[in-house]
Amino acid sequence: MERFLVAGGARLAGEVTVTGAKNSVLKLMAAALLAEGRTTLTSVPDILDVTIMAEVLRRLGCTVERADATVVIDVPATPRHEADYDLVRRIRASIAVLGPLVARCGMAKVALPGGDAIGSRGLDMHVAGLVKLGATVESEHGYLIASAPRLRGAQVWLDFPSVGATENLLMAAALAEGTTVIDNAAREPEIVDLCQMLTAMGARISGVGTSTLEVEGVESLSPVEHETVADRIVAGTWAVAATMTRGDVFVRGGRVEHLEMPLDKLVQAGAVITPGEGGFRVVMESRPKAVDVVTLPYPGFATDFQPLFLGLNTVAEGTAMITENVFESRWMFVNELVRLGADVRTDGHHAVVRGRARLSGAPVTAHDIRAGAGLVLAGLVAEGVTEVSDVQHVDRGYEGFVEKLVALGADVRREQVPDEPWL
Ligand code: UD1
């Protein structure tokens, strides 16, 4: 087990580079299963979740090789169709192999996933959609088992624009017989990225970037080379970090067009944000002002930013209301912030944050990726040292987080947690 030791007080300054999006590349890797042969993905972040997803694909019979930021996936003519619990429980996104496997092999057996500890995160829309496409889906001994000799196009309405369900259904529909319409589909930039890769593979998709996706199924798809879209959540994390530490940071690779809502909130908080060649600059000179946040599916304010903005508000001038509409219990993080001296009350979907002049460093625990990053940022503005444990969560989503913070002037280091001899 490892932890981060974060000493507060530094003003972040300099340039940081954002790589490809975790939430995109994991699905692009699953999409490779749709075509026999070598698919090449570039701008692949070097993070734990990619390593785990590569292992999921290897156990399905693929060869996966990585060289720097390029991953080559060689998919056999007949992949195996079973994804085991020991891997799936470590990465919820591995459920993305369900759609491609049933479309390609006529059968998929995928363990019910675990993943971040943030709410129930059902799979009912994934299942209902596949059933609409003609699959039989059963749940047995902790596995979802889906089968269909050939999926058939259908009209699917999602109760909620679920990112994962939209992706699974898109991939399944690409090889179905006939036309599928997915209504109330998610429209995150990562969905657009997946649509672009599928289209390059030979899929026929219209309505890309809208909430109605129409997919005309084809007989087969071909492997391609595809560049992963930049990680907007990581880019936004650096923007929040610069704002909280009253810094001056150029976020290279960050795309303002994917970050309109969060960057606008940072401007309201007092930051000056200037788009530039290949990225954007964030400069903050004063204590941030409190900003209210309401999470919603894209283009609304992303739930993944919620812990980061909650953290920002703990040291802001004024009181903010944070409303979480996407995941019902994303508040575990609040208890950790309170350990740092934050004044936060939660009630149902809402958290009220009264800004304090300063936080005070303490040992805290990361419960998921973004909460972990949020605690590190809080540590940067706390007095003294904040010890963040369970940092494997942060490693799942942030490439070289500590090294990049140090390069921007932060006093942060990673250390092994000593054994507890009394255990
Ligand atoms: C993805 C992202 C995650 C982000 C989330 C919302 C990845 C790997 N993860 O997660 O970082 O926070 O989108 O932007 O891309 N739901 C159901 N039934 C379903 C599917 C979802 O009830 O069949 C619910 C979930 O419990 C949750 C909400 O819908 O409350 C959103 O889930 P979804 O959009 O599917 O998120 P993920 O794809 O899991």
Q: What was the pLDDT predicted at 361?
A: 97
Distances (CA, A) of 254 to 18, 190, 299, 380, 422: 6, 14, 16, 22, 47
The residue out of 227, 244, 266 marking a domain boundary is 227
CATH number, position 30: 3.65.10.10
The answer to whether position 423 is within a domain reads no
The answer to whether position 43 is within a domain reads yes
Beta strand 359-360 with 382-383: parallel, antiparallel or unpaired?
parallel
Q: How far apart are CA 322 and CA 241, in angstroms?
A: 18
Look at ligand 1, atom 32, and give the residue with the nearest C-alpha. 162
Note whether 13 and 33 are same-domain residues. no
Note whether 238 and 337 are same-domain residues. yes
* 368 is an active site residue: no
Note whether 88 and 202 are same-domain residues. yes
Nearest of 167, 174, 185, 172 to residue 99 by alpha carbon: 172
Q: What was the pLDDT predicted at 422?
A: 79
Q: How far apart are CA 66 and CA 64, in angstroms?
A: 7
Please give the sequence-ordered ranges of beta strands (E in DSSP) within 255-378, or none if there are none. 272-276, 279-283, 293-294, 319-323, 343-347, 350-354, 359-360, 363-365
The answer to whether position 422 is within a domain reads no
Note whether 91 and 238 are same-domain residues. no
Number of domains in the chain: 2
Residues of the chain scoring pLDDT < 70? 114-121, 329
The answer to whether position 421 is within a domain reads no
Note whether 217 and 239 are same-domain residues. no
Q: How far is the CA of 105 from the centre of ligand 1 (A)?
A: 25
The residue out of 227, 260, 295 marking a domain boundary is 227
The answer to whether position 147 is within a domain reads yes
The answer to whether position 186 is within a domain reads yes
Question: Which amino acid makes up residue 143?
Answer: Y
Note whether 247 and 164 are same-domain residues. no
The answer to whether position 220 is within a domain reads yes
Note whether 249 and 205 are same-domain residues. no
Note whether 62 and 199 are same-domain residues. yes
- Point out the catalytic residue in the list 46, 84, 86, 116: 116
Range of the domain at 354: 2-18+231-416
Note whether 139 and 195 are same-domain residues. yes
The residue out of 204, 227, 250 marking a domain boundary is 227
Residues 14, 252: contact at Cβ < 8 Å?
no
Q: 104: which 2 tokens?
A: 């390609």
Q: How far apart are CA 402 and CA 135, in angstroms?
A: 45
Question: Number of C-alpha atoms within 13 angstroms, CB side, residue 139?
Answer: 8
Q: How far is the CA of 285 from the centre of ligand 1 (A)?
A: 36
Q: How far is the CA of 119 from the centre of ligand 1 (A)?
A: 10
Note whether 14 and 26 are same-domain residues. no
Note whether 148 and 256 are same-domain residues. no
Q: How far apart are CA 391 and CA 405, in angstroms?
A: 15
Q: 342: which 2 tokens?
A: 């934050």
Quote the DSSP letter at residue 33.
G
Note whether 238 and 220 are same-domain residues. no
